[in-house]
A and B are shown apart, each in its own frame.
Chain A
Amino acid sequence: ELKVEQNPLFLSMQEGKNYTIYCNYSTTSDRLYWYRQDPGKSLESLFVLLSNGAVKQEGRLMASLDTKARLSTLHITAAVHDLSATYFCAVDRGMRFGAGTRLTVKP
């Protein structure tokens, strides 16, 4: 059974700081997704990573994928309050989700 583990589950950081969220998965997968969810809302697509070594960046967020290590990272650069949300990774077309990382960015 495919398992997807995210860490940390909770992250409180100050504005301007950098941090990385990790997503490990247990079996081979050819794709990995990152999503953002604001309270009470549905999911917003951030990145889809389709190959080993794939790196994508959008604003202060950068995602990468290492299929050999079965690991994806979501790096946050110079965090701002607007990035406060819950971030999920999901694996495979069947969209198995990690537990989510609840990010709070404080002034």
Chain B
Amino acid sequence: GAVVSQHPSWVICKSGTSVKIECRSLDFQATTMFWYRQFPKQSLMLMATSNEGSKATYEQGVEKDKFLINHASLTLSTLTVTSAHPEDSSFYICSALRGVNTEAFFGQGTRLTVV
């Protein structure tokens, strides 16, 4: 099956610093990637849709200046949490679409803790 690798798996950072999370499709080209955040015992909340070579489309209420998304190639999208605060602590998950009529493949997730 298709593999999506997310890195790092977990990260602890200080308030005010920035953190970058990478999402790579290892064995396929993904024209579209999605970024989600998930709080404990809650569902996934779509943050943004990332298309290669164009600006990400952010969901309502998601600050695009705080959550910077770069989809520089067909196999890599990055999410940078800028000036992180404790309330940004969450589980961040990416997914990638391999084709039009296939399911999305999910990365392992990144657990971010801001102290």
Contacts and interface: CB of A to CB of B under 8 A. Distances in A.
B105 A45 contact: yes
B93 A43 contact: yes
Interface string A28-60: 000101010000011111011010000000000
Interface residues of A, number: 21
B108 A45 contact: no
Contacts of B104: 33, 45, 95
Contacts of A35: 106
A90 B95 CA distance: 13
B11 to A, nearest CB: 15
Contacts of B49: 94
Contacts, number: 51
A25 interface: no
A93 B32 contact: yes
A96 interface: yes
B44 interface: yes
Interface of B: 6, 32, 34, 36, 42-46, 49, 93, 95, 97, 101-109
Given A33-B104, A99-B42, 4 more contacts: A42-B93, A42-B106, A95-B44, A98-B43
- The 7 A-B pairs of least Cβ separation, nearest first, read A48-B103, A42-B109, A43-B106, A45-B103, A97-B44, A42-B106, A97-B43
18 contacts: A31-B101, A33-B103, A35-B106, A42-B6, A43-B44, A43-B106, A44-B106, A45-B104, A45-B105, A50-B101, A88-B44, A93-B97, A94-B49, A95-B34, A95-B95, A96-B46, A99-B43, A100-B43
